[in-house]
Every structure is written in C-alpha cells, then in structure tokens.
A and B are shown apart, each in its own frame.
Chain A
Amino acid sequence: MPAQRSRLLIFGLLVLLAACSSDVHQPERVYRHALDGVPTSLDPAHAADVYAGTLVLNLFDTLYRYRYLARPYELAPNLAADFPDVSEDGLVVTIRLREARFADDAAFPDGQGRLVTAHDVIYSLRRHFDPATRSQGAWLWRDRIVGLDDWGRQGADPDAPIAGLRAVDERTLRIELTRPFPQLVNTLALPLSAIVPAEAVARHGREFSVRPVGSGPFRLVSLDETRAILKPNANFDRGPLDLAAEGFDPVRHGALGLETLDGRRYPFLDRLEVHFITEPATRWNSFISGREVDNVMLPAEQAARVLVSTDPLRLQPRFEGQFHASASRETGLVFYGFNMANPEIGHHPDPERAQRNRALRCAIRDGFDWEARNQVFYQGLGEVFPGVIPPFLAEFDQEMDRRSIQHEPAAARERLEAHGWTEQSLPALVYGLESSIDRRQMFEQFRAMLGRIGYPPDRVRSAVFPSFGEYSRAIRDGQIDVFLMGWTMAYPDAQYSLQLFYGPHASPGANMFNFLDPDFDELFRQASVMPPSPERTALYRQLNRRVIDECVVIGSLSRLRVHLWHPRILMLPDREAVGGFFLRFVGVQEPEA
C-alpha cells in the first residue's frame, strides 16, 4: 500500500510538471547576470544597497545616470533632457524632462502606462519625507530643499505645496535649495531617487516593493529569493545607443564586440535574468559550468588560478579566449573603525587620558598588517591607501604619507610602553562581526596581529551578529569597540566618505565612530557647499589627515573587481557607479546563420 500511494504521488507530480512546462518558449536573447547579494525591496525609496539598486535602475528611471564606458565615471542626462540650469547663487536648479512613459500596469487607466511628468519627480522625492514610506534615502536631501523637511514633519499632506519643489510645467522641474548642493545631480543618479508613479504606489501599497512599476528599460516578470526575471519595457524608448557618447575607446573596448550594437535602439535583450548568489565559490562554479550564469565577479581565492596579471589584465592560458575580462577598482573602501564614544579607547574628558587612548589606537593601527590582510583575503589585489579618500577619486593624493598603513609592530609596542600601557592595563576590546566565515577569519587574523604587539588574545573578544541589521544596531548602540566596515561611495565625491566623521552624523547616524571634533566639523561644513575646485580638494585632504592623525580609523583598502563573462555576451559589466545602468546596453551575439 505505501508503494501504491507513492506511485500515485509521483504520477500526480508528473502531471503537475507537465502542465507547467506546456508552454516552453526559449527567448532568443537572454543574459543571465550573477549578483553577489539579494535585494530585499524593489521600492526605490528602500534601494540603498547595490543589489536592490541594480534592479531598481533597470525598472525605474532616474533623472541622471553615468556614462556606460567612460572612466573616471561621468554623469549623463537620463530622464532629464540635459544637465540642469543652476542660478548664479547656486540655489535654484531647473531641470527639463524628456518624453517617457511608464510601463503598462493595472494601476493606470486601461492598464496603459502614461507619460512621466515633473509632478512624478516631485512625488518621488517628496515621498522620502513621508514617514509611511520608511525611506532609506531621505537623509540625502535632509535640510537641503526648501520646505521639504517641514512638509514631512507636518503630516505629509499630499495637497500641501512645497516651496522648494515645484513643477513649472508638465516637463519642467524647479528645485530651490537651502544652500548650494554641488552633489545634487549625483544624488539624482542614485536608485533612491528613481521616479515612481503615485497611482502604482497607491494601488499596490506595501506590495509595491515586489510589484515595481516604473519607466525604466525593463519590467519585472518574477522575483524570488534566488533570482529576478525581467523583460523589456515596450514603452521605453531612449533612442539608439551612441557608443562614442558613452565613452567608447577602440583601444580599451575594441575587443568586446560592442560596435555591432552601435546605433541600435536599446535595451537589446529579450529576457534579463538576475541570479542572486551570495557564496563566492558557488557563484564561480555556476559560471564556470557554463549552464547557470553568464558572468561572474572573480572571487579573490580564484585569482591565482585564473589570472596571470592584473595590469595589464591577462588570463591564464586555459581561460584565454574562452572568457572576456575586465578589471576596475571598486568605488568604495574597507576599513576598521574605533568607537570613540567609549572612554576606554576613545574620547576622554581628561586630556592626558585622551592622549593615552590615542596612542593605544595608533598602536593597534601600527600593529595591523594590511599586506597580510590583502594577501590572505584579496590575493594581493586590493589597494591599500591612507585615510578614507579612495584611489578612484580625483581628490586622491598620490603623494600622501603612507606611514599610517605600514605594519610597525615594534613601533606599536614602543608606543604602548611610552604611554604607560601594560599587559594588565590594556582595555578589553569587543570586536564586532557579522556571522560569516570570512568575517570570523578576519577576526582571528586581527586578534593574532594584536597578539604580536602584546595584546593578550583573551582581551580581544568577538561579538557575532547574525545579520547586517543587528550588526549596525550594535555599532549604533556603542556595543562594539572595533568594527570592520565597507563603505560604497554612492557618488564619486570624497564628501561621501568624509561625512562618516562629521559630528552631527554621530550615532545613530553615519558617523559610526562617534568622532567629535569641532575643527573637523567646521571644515566639513565649508567644503560641503563648494563646487569641485583645487580649494575644495585641499580641504578634503586636510579633513582626511585629521582622521588619520587621530587614529580613528585603520585603513583603508579598495578591492579590485575582476569581471569575467562569456564572449557571446556583448558588454562591459560594472558593479560600481554605473551599476545597474549597464544592463540596458547588454547585447547577445547573434548565432551564425
């Protein structure tokens, strides 16, 4: 009888599957993109990470974007017709929109997508300040646009006008700023700023985050914890691809086969699959098997087996010709931070103790071996640099003093001794980490390095957190003394990393260090309203030095992103500023007839 029952079950199963597979139509041009994390919400107001961002930029429109191939990254108009007109005093910004249409959705009358207007842009920015949105991006524009913060505080009345955010006509937007905001256009290229239609938000409610409706090049077909499937948005028309305008360089890009796409209307795909694969080794195997995904970001552990050199980028003979490859520096940085709010190691009202604490932090910094970290976890492909202005930025200083990133265990011991730190008096450190094998190994490496400057291992305790959310909470609550943090620059401007040390951003804000320094704050405020200029660069560098001198941070390192993909796919992938923007330009080689 059990056998009979199971035979019935299997039979039922087969019938079920046959029903599912009756309409199998393999689309011609498919690109299967591997992403190294899982997006949680596709509502642009929540798209603060690279994973959600990658999808949001393809489902929605932003006013600006980054040029496909140009490096360093260059802004370009996207939904905006051109760069904005900015008034003499820098306070009034006017932006014209081009014609665009939302994708068809039941939220619109007759299910037909309607034209995008300046009111949609206003709605999309405004809703960040409505508490019900649970926005993760409001802070970008906080205190920047006249009347916007007050509008949110006073109940987010949809009919109340906002002085600083007005539609001059259907296609013209006027923004009035409280003070000059040189990074405004950058923020308008972020996924967080993407344009959403009010009808769809109203109709889908909380579900909008899994039923996105926008005017981007693609629309969502399905989404689960492991992949998203997108198809082209029939209402999307941004004209043909102009390779030259995107920064095409025959020397650098000639071998990629992009020319065949030039002058054709994009997007070029019939189907875009984005697979979320968190584990590096699994991602690699999914790629190398050739069956599951078409691209991979090379896991560092594989570097030696795959690459001969990175500059110029050359693959091992057995991969040469089999894959296309590109390498670029990440637009971000990895560093260790100290919790300055802990008087045992950070700020202290007694100036003498404050000095001793500084010596302690500097000794830990000197005892940390970036070279070893780079070799073990990044196969030597990371670039270590002093402070928090990463090398991909124009403000990066080649000539900078590199002592703060050198491994000086002897100097560290001397420093400890000189300031009266003994094995008995060294404070117990809580090292926070997210629960993962990599992070745990980094902790063990850190503890062993500290051991070499005389820090007893039992006084470096780990506190493990199961998720990034819990980890951030612990940092914000001051439970952690030493934390490892990756900070991705949302736009290429050093202001974005220097704000991590700005006093008013202290916990629960982005200043996880709780670094409080009136001089720093004053200089930061000065720099924040300045347009790019040598003076501003000088200020940025001064701020950077301040952070280094105070030993608030052990850092930093920028990883090298090596992308590999099957030559059949015509593209130049990017996970950084261009991020999701490149997917609209991905083509698939037509099979030989």
Chain B
Amino acid sequence: MTRAPDLLVFSLRKLAGAMPLIVGVTLISFLLTVYFGPDPTHALLGKNPTAAEVAQLSAELGRDRSAPAQYLDYLRRLLTLDLGHSMVTGEPVRAMLARTIPVSLLLLLPGFVLGTILALVMAAVAAWYRGGWVDRMISGVSVVGMSLSFVVILIGLQAVFGVWLGWFPVRGWNVTTLPQYLHHVAVPTLAFIVASLGYNTRFFRAVLVAELNSDQVRNARAFGAGPVRLMLVHVIGNSLLPILTRTLFSVPLLVLSGSLLIESHFGIPGVGKITFDAVMSGDQPVLMAVVGLSAVLFVITVTVTDLLCRLVDPRLRQE
C-alpha cells in the first residue's frame, strides 16, 4: 500500500517537473500564433481607414511591441489567470471558455464513452475467438474504420441522417432540454464512434490477446472460470493499465482536435470552434488561453496516469 504523503510528494514532483513543458508549449504557441500568426488589425478596421488609424489600432492591440515583451506579458497574465478579452468580439476569454467547454464536453462525452465501451466489447470478442472468422471480421471492420477519413465520415453521416432521412438536425446546437440534447448529439456521437472504433478495437485487442496468453489467465481457466467472468475479471482487469493510459491520454487531445472538426462542421459553439475561429482571425488572447489550458490539462493527465499506474500496478512503485 502506498501511503498518502508519498503520493502527494510524487504528484508535486511530477507537476514541478512539468514546468519546462508548460514553458515550451506556451513559447512555441506564442511564436506560432502571435509572432507568425495573422494580424487581427485589419479585421477590426473600418472600410476606409487612414494610415494613422491603422498605426493607432496596431498600437492599441499591442502589436507594435517587441516579441519578448509580448511573451512575458502573456506569461504574467497566464500566471495571474487574467485571460483578458477576445480581440475580435470583446467578450472576456474566461466567459467564452465557461460557455464553450461544457458544450464540447456534452458533445464529445457520449461518443467517447460509448466508443470506448464498444471497442472494448469488440476487442474482447475478437480476442476470445482469436484467429477465427469472428476475429478476422472484426479486424476487417477495424481496418475499414481506420481507413475512413474523419471528414468523409462527418459529411456522409450529415447527408444521410440530416438530409435524406431527416432524422436529426443538419447543424447547430439548440439545446435546452434532454430530447433536444439527444437529438443534436446523435450524429456527432455516431461520427466519433465510427472514427475511433477501428483504432481502439485494434489496440485493445492486442492488449487483451497478450493477457489471454498469460499464465495467470491460463490458471484461472484451468480452475474453471467461465468465459465472461474470465474476460471481465482476469483479462480486462489485468490489462487495465494500458487501456487506462490510452483512454486517459486521448482526453486532452480529444477535447480540442476532435471538437475542432466536429464543431466547425456542425456549427456548434464549443471550444473547438472558438479555437479554430481564433486561429483564423489571429485572436491572440483566446488562442493563448486555450493553448495554456490544454498544456496544463496535458500535464495533469500525465500525472494522473502515472499515479493511477502506480496504484494499479505495484511493480512500478519500485522505480
């Protein structure tokens, strides 16, 4: 049993070790989005500006200051959690995040959870009948899923369910009630499952097969454990570590990368959409907040995963 103070020290050490990472992430994204990124000045000008007005607005936006000065200013604001206002809309960035992150979570969670469960089930079946025709069929389906472009899946499902069948809304996020929510989340969820199922199934299958061949599972089987019990308790239980790692690690990436495409295609006001809009318009405060936040999320995930691994797998504690 690991004692609580040990865990605390471990986590703090981990988080402290992540500081260079956070500096790196903010520095690289600062260079990309501010220094080389689009200049929002011209989007904010009137239809007939004078050169003096252009210069004045540029100064207002802080674009005329040196890059290190801008970066230090950004770090200072990140540390004091002063996220500022969007350059384009004037909305406080904090309010934008508070408004959009729940939408993204609601949007992606069902697909994420269902996709993971479905992939586990399929992987378990395939692993159980490994080498047989069921296994081959499932792996065939997986390869097909992996070969489909996410964009094609999105467009195809939208056309089929939104237009031809007309079962679900074509776009938007008009959600105040549960039925409305289910209505809007259906197609994105399906798209998400189709896109991730192949990759997940294949990975989980490999993990489960390795575990099925282990001595421990052979023993359990010899003692007469039934297939369901064997699979659930011994196989999945024992391979929880890689499964958990992979699932957890996909969270921070998923929140942005996954939502960016879905949200910009379906016109859903989530964090992916505001991020994409911010990249396009050079809305530096929004971008920097999102990047800073996702870096922190990444570090937290790494730490939590490490922690869980230590809890689940005693062998790692020696390190």
Contacts and interface: CB of A to CB of B under 8 A. Distances in A.
User: Direct contact between A and B in the complex (CB less than 8 angstroms)?
Assistant: yes
B48 A499 contact: yes
Given A43-B90, A282-B170, A286-B172, A469 B178 contact: no
Contacts of B163: 285
Interface string B95-121: 100011000001001100100110010
A285 B163 CA distance: 7
A137 B47 CA distance: 8
B20 interface: no
Interface in A1-27: 1-3, 6, 9-10, 13-14, 17-18, 20-21, 24
Contact of B170 (A10, A21, A286, A509): A286
B178 A14 contact: yes
A468 interface: yes
Nearest to A472: B42
Interface in A317-339: none
B8 interface: no
B174 A209 contact: no
Given A206-B90, A209-B89, A508-B51, A466 B38 contact: yes
A6 B267 contact: no
Given A136-B44, A467-B43, A472-B42, A291 B177 contact: no
B90 A208 contact: yes
B279 to A, nearest CB: 8
Interface stretch (B139-147, B191-199, B269-277): B269-277
A131 B173 CA distance: 37
A285 B170 contact: yes
A198 B88 CA distance: 22
A21 B47 contact: no
B41 interface: yes
A470 B282 CA distance: 9
B46 interface: yes
Nearest to A46: B44
Given A226-B173, A289-B166, A467-B281, A510 B89 contact: no
Contact of B268 (A226, A278, A285, A472): A226
Contacts of B51: 508
Given A282-B170, A285-B170, A225 B43 contact: no
- Name the interface size band of chain A: 35 or more
Interface in B25-66: 38-51, 53-54, 56-57, 60
Contact of A134 (B57, B113, B116): B57
A13 B177 CA distance: 12
A469 B43 contact: yes
A476 interface: yes
B177 A131 contact: no
Contacts of A225: 267, 269, 273-274, 277
B258 interface: no
B2 interface: no
A132 to B, nearest CB: 7
Given A2-B117, A132-B60, A227 B174 contact: yes
A207 B116 contact: no
Contacts of A448: none
Interface in A221-276: 224-227, 275-276
Contacts of A467: 38, 43, 280-281
A178 interface: no
A331 B246 CA distance: 56
Contact of A508 (B50, B109, B280): B50
Contacts of A208: 90
Interface string A176-215: 0000000000000000000000000000001111100000
A138 B46 contact: yes
B90 A469 contact: no
A224 B172 CA distance: 11
A555 to B, nearest CB: 18
A224 B89 contact: no
A469 B243 contact: no
A21 B60 contact: no
Contacts of B313: none
Interface in A506-541: 508-510
A21 B178 contact: yes
A292 interface: yes
A13 B178 CA distance: 10
B49 A21 contact: no
Contacts of A289: 166, 169-170
A505 interface: yes
B169 A291 contact: yes
Contacts of A508: 45, 49-51, 54
A285 B178 CA distance: 23
B176 A20 contact: yes
Nearest to B49: A508
Contacts of A14: 178
Contacts of B60: 131-132, 134
A473 interface: yes
B89 A40 contact: yes
Contacts of B252: none
B14 interface: no
Contacts of A139: 46-50
B49 A509 contact: yes
Interface string B161-197: 0110010011111101110010000000000000000
A286 B163 CA distance: 9
Nearest to B38: A470
A137 B48 CA distance: 9
A415 to B, nearest CB: 33
B85 interface: yes
Contact of A282 (B45, B54, B267): B267
Interface in A447-468: 466-468
B171 A209 contact: no
B90 to A, nearest CB: 3
Contact of A473 (B42, B99, B237): B42
Contacts of B41: 469, 473
A10 B51 CA distance: 56
B91 interface: yes
B109 A9 contact: yes
B275 to A, nearest CB: 11
B240 interface: yes
A277 interface: yes
B146 to A, nearest CB: 22
A467 to B, nearest CB: 5
A445 interface: no
Nearest to B240: A1
Contacts of B44: 46, 134, 136, 469
B38 A136 contact: no
A480 to B, nearest CB: 13
28 contacts: A2-B116, A2-B120, A6-B116, A18-B178, A21-B177, A24-B177, A41-B88, A135-B46, A136-B44, A136-B47, A138-B53, A139-B46, A139-B49, A207-B90, A209-B89, A209-B91, A226-B269, A227-B172, A275-B172, A276-B267, A278-B267, A282-B171, A292-B169, A469-B38, A469-B41, A469-B44, A472-B45, A510-B47
Given A6-B117, A207-B90, 8 more contacts: A41-B88, A41-B90, A48-B47, A209-B90, A224-B269, A285-B162, A285-B163, A510-B47
